[in-house]
Amino acid sequence: MQQSDTNGDGQLDAAELESCISLRDSLSAYDTDGDGAISQAELLARIEQLFKDGVILTNVSCTVTKGRSPVSNARVVFEPAPFMESVLEPASGVTDSSGVALIAVADDRLPDELKGKPVMHIGLYEVTIDSGSNTTKFGHEVDPDSRTGVSPTFDLTSARKQ
């Protein structure tokens, strides 16, 4: 909140959310009162809800499209939102011919029993997709309780997560 609340009113409005695309693109999950902004109480409540079951790792596969066509060989990188960098690890994958990528934390950042498994932390991420011809950024909340949280589709023509 302190990083993005530039006007000091205790909430993140549309203009301030532009500096935190992970929250901007997940607004509907955080803005529980529907006022178009995220208060500190709303932010904390949602983060507590994400981690309530003690689950910290999950499987994520994402689809990258351009219009209705799958994008192959795109590098997809999930970087923790700035305020979560100290608790989350980055994760990445490369899309196959169907436009699907399994997203995983690098093996050297996982305990031995999880090495080689496509897992990543739940939480808020800034997603960068490099398709060779361009780089596109999205925000995304990895939430194991939501299908779109663990199987998102990113359409490069919309520059918004679907």
Residues 90-123 pLDDT 10s? 999 999 999 999 999 999 998 899 999 999 999 9
- Tens digits of per-residue pLDDT, 44-63? 999 999 888 877 899 999 99
81 beta partners: none
Q: Rounded CA gap, 49 and 54, in Å?
A: 10
What residues does CATH 2.60.40.1120 cover in the chain? 57-161
The CATH class, in words, for 57-161 is mainly beta
* Residue 12 exposed, middle or buried by CB count within 10 Å (0-12, 13-18, 19+): buried
CB 26 within 8 A of CB 139: yes
Give the closest residue to 140 by CA, choosing from 18, 22, 29.
22
The pTM (predicted TM-score) of the whole model is: 0.90
What does the pLDDT average to over 114-134? 92
Question: Which pLDDT belongs to residue 156?
Answer: 92
| pLDDT confidence tier of residue 162, bands split at 50, 70 and 90 | very low
Tell me the three state secondary structure of residue 23. Answer: helix
φ, ψ of residue 42 in degrees (nearest 5): -65, -40
- List, in order, residues 6 or more apart from 140 with CB less than 8 Å away: 22, 25, 26, 78, 124, 125, 127, 152, 161
